[in-house]
Amino acid sequence: MIEQLKISIDESRKLARGLSPVALGEYGLINAVNELTDLYSSMYNIDCEVYSECEAYHITNNVATQVFRIIQEAMNNSVKHSGGKNLNIVFSVNSDSSHKVEIIDNGKGFKTGAVENPGMGLSILKFRGQLIDSIVEIKSTIGSGTTITCKFR
């Protein structure tokens, strides 16, 4: 138990410092997200899964890194705020062959336009989207959960 905790802390430190292997070739993004979901499943006692139509991504390191950080913030928000027990990361390919990732929780949801939400995370998430010409959508329904969608190429 303590050993597992040490490993988890070590891994989250690496991720927080930006040392996660996002920038390692075409499988980097999906591998990094798989590591993150394994970590969150064990650390937070939630069911956290990745579903993917595509494993190999021909994207730049910059796009991979920004998309990874967007996913990470959406996942952090979900464990911090949503209270949901299911957190799914779903990758798919659009008809124009660009990619889409959705981060979906089944938590309590929130009012997306409300001023009482003072954090920086969602603003940074949108800004990261702009940096890579991505469209990031935040949809949330009180009582049924939140979905963040990011399209990228």
Ligand X SMILES: Nc1ncnc2c1ncn2[C@@H]1O[C@H](COP(=O)(O)OP(=O)(O)OP(=O)(O)O)[C@@H](O)[C@H]1O
Nearest distance in Å: CB 76, Mg ion: 6
Q: In terms of Cα–Cα distance, which of 96, 112, 108 is closest to 148?
A: 112
Cα torsion 48, 13, 9, 3 to 10°: value is 110
Footprint on residues 102-121 left by ligand X (CB under 6 A): 105, 107-110, 117, 119-121
Tell me which of Mg ion, ligand X, none is bound by residue 108, counting a contact when its beta carbon lies within the kind-specific cut-off of 5 to 8 angstroms: ligand X
Query: Is there binding between residue 40 and ligand X (CB under 6 A)?
Result: no
Footprint on residues 60-79 left by Mg ion (CB under 5 A): 77
Footprint on residues 108-147 left by Mg ion (CB under 5 A): 119, 121
Angle (deg, nearest 10), helices 121-131 and 61-77:
160
Locus of tokens 């949330």: 140
Phi, psi of 139 (to 5 degrees): -120, 130
Instruction: Output 23 or 50, the one with its CB closest to ligand X.
Output: 50
**Please, are residues 77 and 122 in contact by the beta-carbon 8 Å criterion?**
yes
User: With contacts defined by CB under 6 A, how many residues of the chain interact with ligand X?
Assistant: 16
Provide the binding-site residues for Mg ion, judged by CB under 5 A: 77, 119, 121
